């Protein structure tokens, strides 16, 4: 049976990351030198793909390289070339405990490039419900996507957001541009089982370690997003979605706001009961309300951006996306309007 590391090496190579693929492949070959890590992977209680086991391993190695405790590993990452078998095998043997302990915590990418797809969905929603939005994010991590109104976007030629922002997100846009509509974020808050505090250096370092080491543009964007978050801390509560969301939706909404429940690569880690609770809470909530999802399909063969509006639960597949937001293939409504700038509020 192919291990999670070998499978993921094939995936990331297809995504254009030869360096991360080489890290994972070397890790697979030298698992016998890290018995705790090998047992953890072999005895993984859930679905290794859904739980991103290989990406946890990759994050652990990147974190170790960034720490500087293993000079050979740090040098390998700096050069992005070298004797992978010697260096990775040696690091795994010497730092087995560190790697295994790191992998027990869930991934924390909080990739802000995904907020481009969310913004496109919000513009589509604005064309239908002409109101400011109140964002409720599930699995918000450090809450960086709650600050999407503070970022600058170029979505197929439609520019929206804060034009002066150091966080500039311009995915490779495939297809026609989305509807050009202003988006106003009246309020934003989220929930996570283990939220990361942007004021904690260890939390910031964990996020940086989950950026693929051969993607410096992603790292720079995350660095700027973290700086914005420190100046404007997102509101993320520690809690479980099944308790938090029904409670939040039971609170009266303002007459001039549309609530939007958002989740980006987070519900894949949740079981059927959580999915059912989310669906039931939305169906029973005061309207207008909407749901924006950026998640793998059930077959895990594509990432879909979806918009569901209530009452009625009308769901639409707006786009197929790169898992980290590098490109967006737009299937949603469009027009010929091109505007130089739209305020995100």
Average pLDDT over residues 87-105: 97
Average pLDDT over residues 18-47: 96
Of 58, 82, 103, which residue constitutes the final position of a domain? Answer: 103
Residue 305 tokens read as 């951006």
In a domain, 335, yes or no: no
Residue 161 has pLDDT above 60, yes or no: yes
Q: Which residue has the tokens 């929206």?
A: 160
Residue 304 tokens read as 């879909």
DSSP string, 76-119: HHHHT-S-HHHHHHHHHHHSHHHHHHHHTSPP----GGGHHHHH
Asked whether residue 261 falls in the same domain as residue 231, the answer is: yes
Asked whether residue 136 falls in the same domain as residue 209, the answer is: yes
Q: How many domains does the chain have?
A: 2
Rounded Cα–Cα distance for residues 62 and 22 (Å) = 13
DSSP state of 301: S
In a domain, 9, yes or no: yes
pLDDT digits (tens, 9 = 90+) for 262-293: 999 998 888 889 999 999 999 999 889 999 99
pLDDT digits (tens, 9 = 90+) for 116-129: 999 999 999 999 99
On the question of a cis peptide bond just before residue 248, with omega within 30 degrees of 0, the verdict is no
Q: What pLDDT does residue 340 have?
A: 39
Asked whether residue 138 falls in the same domain as residue 216, the answer is: yes
**Beta-carbon-side half-sphere exposure of residue 51 (alpha carbons within 13 Å):** 16
On the question of a cis peptide bond just before residue 311, with omega within 30 degrees of 0, the verdict is yes
- φ, ψ of residue 305 in degrees (nearest 5): -95, 120
Q: What pLDDT does residue 287 have?
A: 86
Asked whether residue 94 falls in the same domain as residue 122, the answer is: no
Domain housing 141: 112-330
Q: What pLDDT does residue 16 have?
A: 85
Q: Between these two residues, 24 and 298, which has the higher pLDDT value?
A: 24
Rounded Cα–Cα distance for residues 151 and 134 (Å) = 17
Asked whether residue 120 falls in the same domain as residue 88, the answer is: no
Contacts 24+ apart (CB under 8 A), 214-218: 214/17, 214/18, 214/19, 214/20, 214/80, 215/17, 218/111, 218/113, 218/324
Q: What pLDDT does residue 28 have?
A: 96
Q: Between these two residues, 106 and 297, which has the higher pLDDT value?
A: 297
pLDDT digits (tens, 9 = 90+) for 183-200: 999 999 999 999 999 999
Asked whether residue 215 falls in the same domain as residue 141, the answer is: yes
Of 103, 138, 164, which residue constitutes the final position of a domain? Answer: 103
In a domain, 189, yes or no: yes
Banded model confidence at residue 253, pLDDT cuts 50, 70, 90: confident
In a domain, 342, yes or no: no
Residue 116 tokens read as 């481009």
Asked whether residue 79 falls in the same domain as residue 128, the answer is: no
303, exposed or middle or buried, with CB in 10 Å at 0-12, 13-18, 19+?
buried
Q: Which residue has the tokens 């929603």?
A: 125
Do 123 and 178 meet the contact criterion of CB atoms below 8 Å apart? yes
Q: What pLDDT does residue 336 have?
A: 52
């Amino acid at each position: 049976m192919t291990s999670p590391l070998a499978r993921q090496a094939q995936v990331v190579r297809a995504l254009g990351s030869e360096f991360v693929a080489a890290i994972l492949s070397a890790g697979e070959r030298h698992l016998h030198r890290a018995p705790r890590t090998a047992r953890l992977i072999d005895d993984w209680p859930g679905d290794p793909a859904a739980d991103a086991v290989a990406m946890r391993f990759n994050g652990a190695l990147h974190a170790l390289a960034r720490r500087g405790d293993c000079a050979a590993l740090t040098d390998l990452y700096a050069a992005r070339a070298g004797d992978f078998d010697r260096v990775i095998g040696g690091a795994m043997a010497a730092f087995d405990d560190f790697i295994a302990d790191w992998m027990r915590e869930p991934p924390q990418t909080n990739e802000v490039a995904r907020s481009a797809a969310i913004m496109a969905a919000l513009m589509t929603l604005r064309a239908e419900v002409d109101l400011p939005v109140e964002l409720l994010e599930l699995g918000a991590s450090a809450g960086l996507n709650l600050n999407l109104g503070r970022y600058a976007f170029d979505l197929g030629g439609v520019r929206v957001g804060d034009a002066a922002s150091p966080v500039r997100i311009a995915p490779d846009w495939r297809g026609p541009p989305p509807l050009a509509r202003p988006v106003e974020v009246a309020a934003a808050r989220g929930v996570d089982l283990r939220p990361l505090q942007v004021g904690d250096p260890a939390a910031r370092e964990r996020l940086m370690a989950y950026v693929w080491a051969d993607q410096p543009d992603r790292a720079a964007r995350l660095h700027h997003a973290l700086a914005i978050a420190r100046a404007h801390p997102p509101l993320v509560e520690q809690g479980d979605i099944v308790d938090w969301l029904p409670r939040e939706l039971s609170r009266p909404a303002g007459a001039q706001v549309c609530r939007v429940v958002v989740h980006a690569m987070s519900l894949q880690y949740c079981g059927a009961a959580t999915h059912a609770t989310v669906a039931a809470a939305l169906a029973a909530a005061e309207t207008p309300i909407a749901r924006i999802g950026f998640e793998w399909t059930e077959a895990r063969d594509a990432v879909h951006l979806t918009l569901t509006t209530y009452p009625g639960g009308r769901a639409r597949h707006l786009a197929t996306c790169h898992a980290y937001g590098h490109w967006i293939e737009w299937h949603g409504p469009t027009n010929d309007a091109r505007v130089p700038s739209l305020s995100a509020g």
